[in-house]
A = this chain, B = another copy of it.
Amino acid sequence: MGSEVGFTSLGLVAWLCCLSLGPVEGGKVLVIPADGSHWLSMKILVKELNRRGHDVLVLVPENSLLIHDSASYKTETYQVSFTSGELDEMMSELKTGLFLKPPKITDLFVNVQRFVNFTSIQLKACEDLLHNQPLMRRLRGVGFDTVLTDPFVPCGSIVARVFSIPVVYFLRGLPCELDLKANQCPTPPSYVPVSYSGNTNIMTFPQRVKNVLMSVTELYTCRLLFGHYDQMVSRYLGEDITYKELLGDGAIWLLRYDFAFEWPRPLLPNMVLIGGINCAKGAPLPADLEEFVDGSGEDGFIVLTLGSMVPSMPEEKARRFFDAFRQIPQRVVWRHAGVPPEGVPTNVRLMPWIPQNDLLAHPKAKVFITHGGTHGIYEGICNAVPMLIFPLFGDQGDNVHRLVTRGVAESLGIYDVTTEKLLAALNKIIHDKSYKERIAALSQIHLDRPVPPLELAVFWTEFVMRHKGAAHLKVAAHDLNWIQYHSLDVIGIIVLTLLTVLWVTLKCCLFCVRKCYRKGTAKRKSE
Contact residues of A with B, CB < 8 Å? Answer: 3-16, 18-23, 52, 185-186, 188-191, 201-202, 205, 208-209, 212-213, 259-260, 263-270, 281, 444-445, 447-448, 450-452, 455-456, 458-460, 463, 466-467, 472-477, 479-480, 484-487, 489-491, 493-494
Contacts and interface: CB of A to CB of B under 8 A. Distances in A.
B263 A11 contact: no
A264 B489 contact: no
B463 A188 contact: no
A282 to B, nearest CB: 10
B9 A22 contact: yes
Contacts of A19: 6-9
**What number of copies of this chain does the assembly contain?**
2
B10 A13 contact: no
Given A6-B19, A11-B455, A264 B445 contact: no
29 contacts: A3-B14, A6-B18, A7-B15, A8-B23, A9-B16, A10-B12, A12-B16, A12-B455, A13-B16, A18-B281, A188-B477, A188-B485, A190-B490, A205-B489, A209-B490, A209-B493, A209-B494, A212-B491, A259-B472, A259-B473, A264-B268, A264-B270, A264-B472, A264-B475, A264-B476, A448-B466, A448-B467, A450-B450, A450-B460
A395 B396 CA distance: 47
Nearest to A272: B450
Contacts of A459: 8, 10, 450
Contacts of A205: 489-490
A190 B11 CA distance: 41
B264 A473 contact: yes
Greatest chain B CB density within 10 A among A7, A268, A467 is at: A7
Contacts of A186: 186, 188, 266
A54 to B, nearest CB: 13
Contact of A269 (B267, B451, B455): B267
Contacts of A213: 494
B480 A190 contact: yes
Nearest to A208: B490
B264 A191 contact: no
Nearest to A200: B476
A269 B267 CA distance: 7
A317 to B, nearest CB: 36
A202 B21 contact: no
Given A7-B15, A450-B455, 6 more contacts: A6-B19, A11-B455, A212-B491, A266-B268, A267-B268, A445-B467
